[in-house]
Amino acid sequence: MGRLEEVRVPDLGGQAGVPVIELMAAIGDAVTADQGLMTLESDKATIEVPSPVSGILRELKVQIGDTLSEGQPVALVEVAEADTGINTRTSINPAPEDAVKTLVPASPVVIPPSGSRPDADAPAPVARENAGPGPIEAPPHASPLARRLARERSVDIHALHGTARGGRISRADVLSIAEAMPADPAGKLAPAAHGDDGFALLPWPEPDFSRFGPIEKRSMGRIPRISAANLSRNWVRIPHVTQHDEAEIDSLESLRQQLNREHADGGIKLTLLAFLIKATAGLLVRFPHFNASLDADGEALVLKKYVHIGFAADTADGLVVPVIRDADRKGVLEIARETDTLARRAREGRLTATDMQGGCFTISSLGGIGGSRFTPIINAPEVAILGVSRVTIQPVWDGQAFQPRRMLPLSLSYDHRVIDGAAAARFTSTLARTLNDMRRLLL
- Binding-site ranges for ligand CAO (CB under 6 A): 271-273, 311-314, 319, 343, 364-368, 376, 388, 390-391, 408
Q: How far is the CB of 228 from ligand CAO (least distance, A)?
A: 11
Phi, psi of 73 (to 5 degrees): -70, 135
Q: Dihedral of CA 220/221/224/226: which sign? A: positive
| Contact yes or no for 275/437 (Cβ under 8 A) | no
Nearer to ligand CAO, 408 or 431 (CB): 408
Q: How far is the CB of 390 from ligand CAO (least distance, A)?
A: 4
Separation between Cα atoms, residue 92 and residue 169, nearest integer Å: 15
CB of 210 to ligand CAO, least distance (A): 29
311 vs 361 by CB, closer to ligand CAO: 311
106 or 223, CB closer to ligand CAO?
A: 223
Least distance in angstroms from the C-beta of 375 to ligand CAO: 10
Distance in Å, CB of 407 to ligand CAO, minimum = 10
Cβ-proximal residue to ligand CAO, closest one: 367
Q: 141 catalytic, yes or no?
A: no
Q: Which is nearer to ligand CAO, 77 or 342 (CB)?
A: 342
Burial class (CB in 10 A: 0-12, 13-18, 19+), 4: middle
Catalytic residue selected from 240, 244, 263, 416 = 416
Sign of CA dihedral 418, 420, 423, 427: positive
87/95 Cα distance (integer angstroms):
15
Nearest to 228, CA basis, from 204, 200, 202: 204
CB 243, min distance to ligand CAO, A: 17
Q: Output 151 or 225, the one with its CB closest to ligand CAO.
A: 225
Give min distance, CB of 408 to ligand CAO, in A.
6
Q: How many CA atoms lie within 13 A of 35 on its CB side?
A: 30
What is the closest distance, in whole angstroms, from the C-beta atom of residue 283 to ligand CAO in the complex?
18
Nearer to ligand CAO by Cβ, of 288 and 349: the residue is 349
Closest to ligand CAO by CB, 175 or 351: 351
Distance in Å, CB of 319 to ligand CAO, minimum: 5
Catalytic residue list: 416
